[in-house]
């Protein structure tokens, strides 16, 4: 007798392939029941594999709008397994996506991801939706398709490559994109194929349709879209293909990385909030800056290197100065800053950010520098934008070549030596309005002269950081008052001070 729950191996690239075929409703229902049972069994035993990483820990500059963690998707509800709006990918796929972001940013563009790893229980949830009454988001996502035909038309598959961790749904951002709207359940539903200025504004360039649009216009090479949308799709596709991703001809947003050989197994661990400990587990260089309290303007920095599962101190500690008003929680990489005890950083508050941060580009007055970090040689037109209404808020730009939409900025090539060597602290990346901008490691005026919000030190110490920091070691900065450091030390897996 054929077992009811036999699962045939599938190679479909995601759960919405526009492929012909049919599946009897009864057979489909049995499949959904079996997959749900299978997913429940996996959920009880499976945890996140070591090669699955949070994209934010690799490149926090890539924007994220994880649709299946909210009700703004074709089902009208958050999918099972999405306990947090986070993108997870295999390490190889995440690093490749970071390379795409770097290449696009050099041209003035960027990426926004809608979905990455998808638990198999979420795939089952999608299939179950197709079998129950109700169409809460039909007018936006599938206005010309009956839900009962999802499986016959191939919009829902048995297995998705998203569940293998190397597939991503994304779009292209850039200076010509309309500003993103903030979605609420009360938002009006507009056909995903409507003209660019009329359909849902996701903060991306015109790609011809919205995301997860069940329509022929979403096919990658459709002739039904205008020249601008076609050009944007081609730009995205070329950038992804050059980094080892392959597209899917029925969905312009869908790409799978195969550069290092994707995982073969289907995973079902839940997507949970990004915790500081998740990030520290992947770091091999750590800088710990502590102060006596929230209002102290002086602190101590200590370098650490990973030895096995723990961090060890590296070299001697050195003195730093902080913001003139002390410290306040910065956005950083981990979540829920607003829910923590203590002040929260705002633009112009004179506070240095507290929390866990990635370190970004090094910069300076010299044309080149002895550092493994990406390096920006500052010129007389280099600026850091601190106007939170600007599209370039919290960005280093060339004021001579960038279209100005800001009323205030900081000139980076100064008359003193403070920015002769510096390193960007990514405390608000991607930038949220008014949460603080232009925060760096840089050279101090003196050991008792606080900053406007940066962390400053003697030139010899920042020169040592230039030579020591290696982006391949995933360096991180932890910056906290001493009492907060001790409070979070066990949960974040921090070393002893």
Active-site positions? 251
CA atoms within 13 A on the CB side of 327: 30
Q: Which residues contact 131 (CB under 8 A, 6 or more apart)?
A: 25, 28, 29, 32
Strand order of the β-sheet with 251-257 is 63-64, 110-115, 167-173, 251-257, 245-248
Q: Taking the CB of residue 341, how many other CB atoms lie within 10 A of it? A: 7
Q: How far apart are CA 366 and CA 375, in angstroms?
A: 10
Q: Round to whole Å and give the CA distance between 22 and 137.
A: 24
How far is it, in rounded angstroms, from Cα 366 to Cα 384?
18
Distances (CA, A) of 275 to 56, 177, 280, 442: 11, 32, 9, 28
Beta bridge mates, 314 = 303
Q: How far apart are CA 59 and CA 51, in angstroms?
A: 16
For residues 113 and 100, give the distance between their C-alpha atoms in angstroms, rounded to a whole number: 12
Q: What is the DSSP string of 125-171?
A: HHHHHTTSS--TTHHHH-TTS-GGGHHHHTSS-S--GGGGT-EEEEE
483: number of Cβ within 10 Å: 13
Only one residue has tokens 């710990």, namely 288
* 455-457 vs 409-411, strand pairing mode: unpaired
Distance (Å) of CA 473 to CA 18, 224, 229, 306, 392: 42, 46, 39, 9, 29
Phi/psi of residue 298, nearest 5 degrees: -120, 150
Handedness of CA 349, 355, 356, 362 (dihedral sign): positive
- Answer left, alpha or beta for residue 76, where phi above 0 means left and psi between -120 and 50 means alpha: left
């Amino acid at each position: 007798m054929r077992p009811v729950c036999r699962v045939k191996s599938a190679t479909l690239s995601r759960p919405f392939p526009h492929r012909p075929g049919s599946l009897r409703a009864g057979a489909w229902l049995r499949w959904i029941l079996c997959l749900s049972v299978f997913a429940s069994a996996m959920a009880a035993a499976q945890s996140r594999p070591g090669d699955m990483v949070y994209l934010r820990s690799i490149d926090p500059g890539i924007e994220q709008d994880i649709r299946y963690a909210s009700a703004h998707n074709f089902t009208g509800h958050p999918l099972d397994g999405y306990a947090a709006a986070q993108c997870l990918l295999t390490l190889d796929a995440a690093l490749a996506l970071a390379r795409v972001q770097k290449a696009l940013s050099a041209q003035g563009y960027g990426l926004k991801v809608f979905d990455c790893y998808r638990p198999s229980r979420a795939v089952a949830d999608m299939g179950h939706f197709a079998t129950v009454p109700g169409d809460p988001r039909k007018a936006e996502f599938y206005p010309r398709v009956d839900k009962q035909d999802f499986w016959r038309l191939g919009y829902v598959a048995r297995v998705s490559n998203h569940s293998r961790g190397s597939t991503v749904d994304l779009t292209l951002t850039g200076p010509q994109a309309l500003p993103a709207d903030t979605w609420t359940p009360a938002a009006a539903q507009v056909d995903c194929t409507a003209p660019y200025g009329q359909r849902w504004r996701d903060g991306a360039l015109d790609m011809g349709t919205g995301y997860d649009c069940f329509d022929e216009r979403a096919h990658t090479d459709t002739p039904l879209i205008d020249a601008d949308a076609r050009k944007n799709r081609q730009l995205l596709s070329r950038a992804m293909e050059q980094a080892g991703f392959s597209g899917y001809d029925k969905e312009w947003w869908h790409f799978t990385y195969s550069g290092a050989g994707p995982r073969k197994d289907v995973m079902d661990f839940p997507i949970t909030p990004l915790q500081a400990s998740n990030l520290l587990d992947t770091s091999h260089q750590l800088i710990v800056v502590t102060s006596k309290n929230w209002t102290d303007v002086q602190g101590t920095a200590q370098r650490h290197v990973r030895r096995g599962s723990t961090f060890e101190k590296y070299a001697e500690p050195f003195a730093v100065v902080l913001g003139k008003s002390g410290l306040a929680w910065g956005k950083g990489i981990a979540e829920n800053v607003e829910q923590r005890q203590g002040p929260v950083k705002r633009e112009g508050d004179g506070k240095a950010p507290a929390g866990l941060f990635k370190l970004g580009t090094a910069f300076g007055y010299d044309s080149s520098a002895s550092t493994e970090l990406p390096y920006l040689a500052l010129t007389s037109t280099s600026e850091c934008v601190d106007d939170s209404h600007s599209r370039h808020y919290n960005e280093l730009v060339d004021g001579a070549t960038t279209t100005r939409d800001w009323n205030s900025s900081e000139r980076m090539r100064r008359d003193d030596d403070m920015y002769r060597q510096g390193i960007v602290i990514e405390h608000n990346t991607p930038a949220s309005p008014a949460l603080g901008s232009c925060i760096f490691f840089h050279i101090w005026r003196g050991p008792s002269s606080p900053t406007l919000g940066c962390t400053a030190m003697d030139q010899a110490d920042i020169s040592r950081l230039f030579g020591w920091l290696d982006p391949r070691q995933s360096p991180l900065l932890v910056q906290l008052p001493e009492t907060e450091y001790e409070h979070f030390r066990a949960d974040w897996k921090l070393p002893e001070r």
